[in-house]
Every structure is written in C-alpha cells, then in structure tokens.
Amino acid sequence: MAQSSPVAAPVRSRRRGEALEQAILEAAHQILREDGYSKLTMEGVAAAAGTGKAALYRRWADKDTLVTAVLQSVLPSPQQLRLTGDVREDLLLIMCCIRNAIGLTNGAAFDIVRHEGPGSGGLVHKAVGQRVLDPCRREILAVLTRGIAEGSVRPGTATPLIADVGPGMIIQHVVVVGTDVPEPFVVSVVDEVLLPLIRA
C-alpha cells in the first residue's frame, strides 16, 4: 500500500489546512477503490496520505466519518444530470449515474450501508441513500410520469417498485458479478427490460 501512495516520498514542506485535508481524502478514496471498505483503516489512510493519525483525528472522529466525507466528495449527484426529455435517453443517463457512483467507490457505498445496518439512519446511509439512490428513484419516476403524459409510457407504471427495477439490476450485478458494470449491460437493461416493461 505504501508503494501505491501518491505521496510516499518524505514531505519536506508541510501541507496545512485544506491541502492536507484534500490529500487525506484522496488517499482514502484510493484505498476505498482498491481495497474496499472493510480493509480501509485510519492507519492505512494516514500512511497513504503521508501524514500522522493525529491529523486525521483532528478532523474526523472515526473511520465512518472519514468515509462519509469521501463519499460526499466523490459521489455524483443526479441533480446534475442533463435530462433530454427522451424516455430511453433519460433512463440511460440515470442508470449510468448509478453505475458510476458504484464504480467510483468499488461498491463501498453498499458495503457501508449493510455494515451499518439498513434503517440505522447513520451518516453514511444518509450520504448514499439520500444523495444517490433516493434522488435517482425520483428522477426515474419523473421520467415515467412525463412519458405517461406524452403517451409513450404505459399508465400505472410510475410506481416506486417499477422505478427500482433498473437500479436493482445494477445492484445485483455488483453483488453477484462485480463492481465493473459494463455499459452494454446498462444499455441492455434499459432496452430489454425497462422499455418493454413500461412502453404503452
């Protein structure tokens, strides 16, 4: 792990404040991606960032607080999506947003949710659920609702259950196959599952 550290060389001039914080977050993010949540330790992050644990504990109370900060800094937000108004295109955009969120963290977001226990309302649950999963569901529902109004989507399909089908397929792929979700998989989920399910 020391070999993969972005700042393994002795640091002659000290980073302070925001610069150090960024280096720590980046180091933590890298460990999260490469080794996953369960193998991330405060000591490992400190070593990878070329600093001491005390500098971490000055900012974050514990591992999960640090990981939450990492997730909040890297998770894409579906509010930033530029939806087109085309049902297929928009579903693809949203699904790729979910896929990218997973890829950025090697599925750690889901590990954390399960580690905390669902419904625990922990900080990380909020970061992941409220930042990615819930907004994506709302976006999908909006896409379906608009499609129903335009007549291209079957009435009655704008339900949370149906909105969960796409994300469910991605989560299953993550759990069973791995966090590298190929884009063709996303496309086929939209074309062979979602569109047949919702079309008028």
Which positions lie near its own copies, rule CB under 8 A? Answer: 36, 38, 107, 110-111, 113-115, 117-119, 129, 133, 159, 161-162, 164-165, 167-169, 171-172, 175-178, 188-189, 192-193, 196-197
- State which of residues 3, 14, 119, 196 lies at the interface with DNA (CB under 7 A): 14
The amino acid that residue 27 corresponds to is A
DSSP state of 199: B
Cβ proximity to DNA: between 50 and 167 the closer is 50
H-type alpha helices, the chain: 17-35, 42-49, 53-57, 63-74, 87-104, 108-116, 123-125, 134-150, 160-163, 165-176, 183-189, 195-198
Distances (CA, A) of 150 to 41, 94, 161, 187, 192: 51, 20, 21, 23, 21
Which residue lies nearer to DNA by CB, 64 or 164? 64
Q: Is 57 among the residues that bind DNA (CB under 7 A)?
A: yes
Name the binder of 53 from DNA, its own copies, none, CB < 5-8 A by kind: DNA
Instruction: Judge whether 124 and 64 are in contact, CB under 8 Å.
Output: yes
User: With binding defined as CB under 7 A, does residue 16 bind DNA?
Assistant: yes
* Residue of 33, 63, 115, 154 that binds DNA (CB under 7 A): 63
